Amino acid sequence: MKKKNEIDIRVRYGETDQMGVVYHGNYPQYLEVARTEWLRNLGVSYKLMEENGVMLPVISLSINYKKSALYDEVLKVKTQLVKMPGVKIEFYYEIWNEKGELIASANTVLAFINMKTKKPMKCPDYILEKIAIKQL
C-alpha cells in the first residue's frame, strides 16, 4: 500500500508537563488529527461518513515511544494505509521531530460500523473507489 499523507503539528503548552515534555496520552490525539487529514486528502470526511450512516471507531491502538516530544516543536506525522480496507481499516504512523528523529511509531485499527444497526459493515464502495484512484 502506498497511500501516505504527512501533516505538521506544533506541540501546544497544555499538552506538556512542567518539564515541557508531551504527556503520553496526547499522542492518540495527534494520530486522530493525522488520520482525519489522511481521509480528507482522499476526499472523505468523518462528517460525510456519518451523513451516510457510517461510524469509524478505533478498536485497536498501539504506540511505541522512542524519544520525547517537546513544547513548541513542530512534529511531522506520517500516516500510511496498511492494506485495502474490508470491515476494518488499519493505519501505520511515524512521528518525527524537527531534528529528523523518529520519536514514535504507532498503529491503529478502526471498524466500519452501521450507525442504525450498530453492527460492523464493509467499507463503503465510495471510499474503496477513492483509495483505488489514489493508488494509480
In the chain, where are the structural domains located?
A: 4-135
**Residue 52 amino acid letter:** N
pLDDT tens digits for 75-122? 999 999 999 999 999 999 999 999 999 999 999 999 999 999 999 999
Q: Which residues are catalytic?
A: 17
Cell of 11: 506541540
Q: What is the pTM of this model?
A: 0.92
Phi, psi of 15 (to 5 degrees): -90, 0
> What band does 135 get if pLDDT is binned at 50, 70 and 90?
low
Say whether domain 4-135 belongs to CATH 3.10.129.10.
yes
